[in-house]
Structure 1
C-alpha cells in the first residue's frame, strides 16, 4: 500500500472535482438481496475488483474498510482519527481516494473515498458469525430513493424519475440530513412522563442518550448490560422498557431502550436536540423508503409491527471462535433396481466438514447463565443436546429470545475441564405499566 501524506487542502481539491457519489446505470430499477443477521444489514460490494461484505449503516457518513483488507486499496493520502461511542480513544485511519466501488454491477461510484481503519477493534464478524470487511455509509443513499424490504431481505434502488410501488399508501415523514446522516422527530413515554426530540436513524443502533435528557431518570426495572461495539470500543450501560415510542402516527409499545454509560459518550459528538437513535430493531417492522434528495422517509407497517421486543433472556453473549474440521459419519447405502435403498449393516464412511466454533464473550451479572456458573471465554461444545457447531450464530441468538421458562443445557470446556450447565430463560425486564 502506498502511503502518501498530503495536506487537507489538497485532499479537498481532489473531492471538489468530477463525479460525486453512486450512479445507477441503465434505465431499470435494481433489486439487491441482503443478509439480515443480528439486526444488521450486510450487502455484497466490489471495491477495485475485490468482492467484500459491507455493513450498510445510515448512522455512518464515510465508507470504511477494516485493516485486514488493505490489498484492495492502492493510495492512502491522509491520516485521521475516528471518534464515537465506546470507552477507548478511537481509531486511526488512512483516507484512500479514487476507489471504484460497484454493487450488483449497475450501482457504481468510480471515485469513492474510503477510510482504512488500521487498528480496528470493531469486532463485527465474530459477533454475527459472517465475514464483514467494512461499512458502507450515507454515500449509498444520497443520490436515489432506496427501499428496504425487511420481510423479503431486499433493497430496491429507484431511478430519480421513477416511484416506488405503493408509495402513495405509505406514511411520509420529513427528515433532516445533517452531516450526511438522517434525523427524524419522535416522542416517547415512560410512565406519565413524555419527552420528544429528534433521533438519528441509525441502522446499527437503538438507544437514548441520558446526558441529552434533562432531569430524566431511568425507571426500574433496568439491567446493567453490554450494549454493543462502537468506534471507541465496547459500550456498556443500562437497558429497560419504556411505555411507548411514537414515530409519526405509529406507536410502538414497550420497546427496549439502551442507555450508554457516560464513559462511553465522552468522545462522541451530537447534534442539537438529539436524544438518541433508532435502529433496525424498530425499522424491521416497516417497509422503508429513504429519499435523501427530497429529505423524506416513507414507512408502511409489515407483519412484524406488533412483534414483541424480545431481550436476550440468557445473559450470554456468544461469539464466533474460528472453525474446525469435524468428522461426520455417513451410512453406506446401495441403490437397488426400482430405487430401493439398502443399508449395509453397520457400515459407515466418513467425510470431514468445516464447522463453526463458539465461545462466551460476556455474561450479564445476575442473569440465569451467570447464576448457573457460566463464564467469559468458556468454549461451547453442545447446546440442548446438539453439537454447537450445528448451529449458526444467529440461531443461537434466537434461542435466547424464544420463550421465558425454557430450559437451556450447555456443555462447555474451561481449560482442561468439560462441564455441563443448566439454566432457565428469564426476562429481566417484565412489563411495567407505570
Structure 2
C-alpha cells in the first residue's frame, strides 16, 4: 500500500450518493464510495476491459431482497485518492440493475472498505472534498468508537431517547436511515403509521416500511422527524446511518484504529 497525503480529490455528490475517481488495473473510472462494502465491487463488463480474470464463484448478499452471482478475483490493482492498493480481492458481478435503479446510469465500480482500511480519510460531503490524513493529525469534532458488526463498522446512535445502539456507518447508503426489524419491534415501530417505498441495492429491489422517528441523536446532535426504513433481513444491524444524516458533519474516519470523528456543520 502506498499513500500520497498531499493528494486531495473532488468528491462528486449526486443527491445523497458519493462518487470518487479511481483506477482499476490502470483504467480510469468513476466509482461509488461505500464504507459499508466489505470488498470493492466491479461490473463484469468493466472488469473484462481492465484485464481482471476469473475467480471463485460465490453468491453475494447486499441490501436487496436476494443474492447475486459474483466471482472473487485476487490480485487486482486499485487506486483512489492517491492510495495505491496493489493486491486487492474484488467481487465481479453484473451491476447493470444496481446502476440503472439507484444511480440512473452505468456503474463500473464500488470502492469499498479497503480504501478506509488503508488509513485516515477527511470527508466533507457538503464541501465536496475528500483526502487522506496523516495518522498524527488531530481531527476536530466528537470522537466515536467503531465496532465491527458482520464486516461493517458501527457507531453509537440514540433513537427517540433510548440507550445508544450500534448503527452501521454507511456512506454507501443514499436512502433513508435503516432500522433492523428486531430492534424496530422492541421500539414499537412496527405498529406505527407507515408508508411503503422501494429500496435495496445488490440483490435486487425490495419494498420496505418507512416510518418517522421522533428523534435521532448522533455525536451530540439531535435530528428531528427522521424517516427510517425497516430492514427485514435477519442479519440486519439495529440501525444503519447513511449520507442523509452524515452529510451534516465534517467527517474523519480511522478504520485501522477503530474511530471516527464527526464535527457538526454550522
* Aligned residue in 2 for 1:224: 196
CA positional deviation for 1:180: 4.5
Question: Is the contact made by 2:179 and 2:240 (CA closer than 8 Å) also made in structure 1?
Answer: yes
1:336-394 deviations in whole A, cap 9, x for unaligned? xxxxxxxxxxxxxxxxxxxxxxxxxxxxxxxxxxxxxxxxxxxxxxxxxxxxxxxxxxx
CA positional deviation for 1:125: 4.3
Q: Does 1:156 align with 2:113?
A: no
Separation in structure 1 between the aligned mates of residue 43 and residue 163 of structure 2, nearest angstrom: 38
- Structure-to-structure mapping, 1:20-419, within 5 angstroms: 22-25=1-4, 28-69=5-46, 70-88=48-66, 90-104=67-81, 106-118=82-94, 120=95, 122-125=97-100, 127-160=102-135, 162-163=136-137, 167=139, 169-178=140-149, 180-189=151-160, 194=162, 196-205=164-173, 206-218=177-189, 220-226=192-198, 228-260=199-231, 262=232, 265=233, 269-270=235-236, 274-303=237-266
CA positional deviation for 1:75: 2.3
1:139-164 deviations in whole A, cap 9, x for unaligned? 0111211011112111010133x415
Question: Is the contact made by 1:63 and 1:137 (CA closer than 8 Å) also made in structure 2?
Answer: yes
The root-mean-square deviation of aligned C-alpha atoms, in Å, is 2.1
CA positional deviation for 1:195: 5.4
Structure 2 length as normaliser, TM-score?
0.89
Separation in structure 2 between the aligned mates of residue 215 and residue 109 of structure 1, nearest angstrom: 42
1:114-168 deviations in whole A, cap 9, x for unaligned? 11114x45422454345421211110111211011112111010133x415xx2x
Question: Is the contact made by 1:138 and 1:180 (CA closer than 8 Å) also made in structure 2?
Answer: no
- Give the secondary-structure state (helix, strand or coil) at the position aligned to 1:68: helix
Q: Where in structure 2 are there 5+ consecutive unaligned residues?
A: none
- Give the secondary-structure state (helix, strand or coil) at the position aligned to 2:114: helix
- Give the secondary-structure state (helix, strand or coil) at the position aligned to 2:63: coil
Question: Is the contact made by 2:184 and 2:230 (CA closer than 8 Å) also made in structure 1?
Answer: no
1:183-211 deviations in whole A, cap 9, x for unaligned? 1111111xxx7353111111133211123
Separation in structure 1 between the aligned mates of residue 162 and residue 134 of structure 2, nearest angstrom: 40
Separation in structure 2 between the aligned mates of residue 132 and residue 259 of structure 1, nearest angstrom: 26
- Give the secondary-structure state (helix, strand or coil) at the position aligned to 1:98: strand
Question: Is the contact made by 2:178 and 2:230 (CA closer than 8 Å) also made in structure 1?
Answer: yes
Question: Is the contact made by 1:121 and 1:233 (CA closer than 8 Å) also made in structure 2?
Answer: no
Number of equivalences = 261
Per the alignment, do residues 248 and 186 of structure 1 end up closer, same or farther by CA in structure 2, a change over 3 Å counting? same
* Aligned residue in 2 for 1:396: none
- Give the secondary-structure state (helix, strand or coil) at the position aligned to 2:253: strand
Per the alignment, do residues 107 and 204 of structure 1 end up closer, same or farther by CA in structure 2, a change over 3 Å counting? closer
- Give the secondary-structure state (helix, strand or coil) at the position aligned to 1:141: helix
Separation in structure 2 between the aligned mates of residue 30 and residue 91 of structure 1, nearest angstrom: 35
Question: Which protein is bigger by CA-based radius of gyration?
Answer: 1
Separation in structure 2 between the aligned mates of residue 146 and residue 116 of structure 1, nearest angstrom: 26
Separation in structure 2 between the aligned mates of residue 289 and residue 141 of structure 1, nearest angstrom: 10
- Structure with greater contact order relative to length (CA < 8 Å, sep ≥ 6): 2
CA positional deviation for 1:36: 0.7
Per the alignment, do residues 233 and 147 of structure 1 end up closer, same or farther by CA in structure 2, a change over 3 Å counting? same
Separation in structure 1 between the aligned mates of residue 2 and residue 222 of structure 2, nearest angstrom: 36
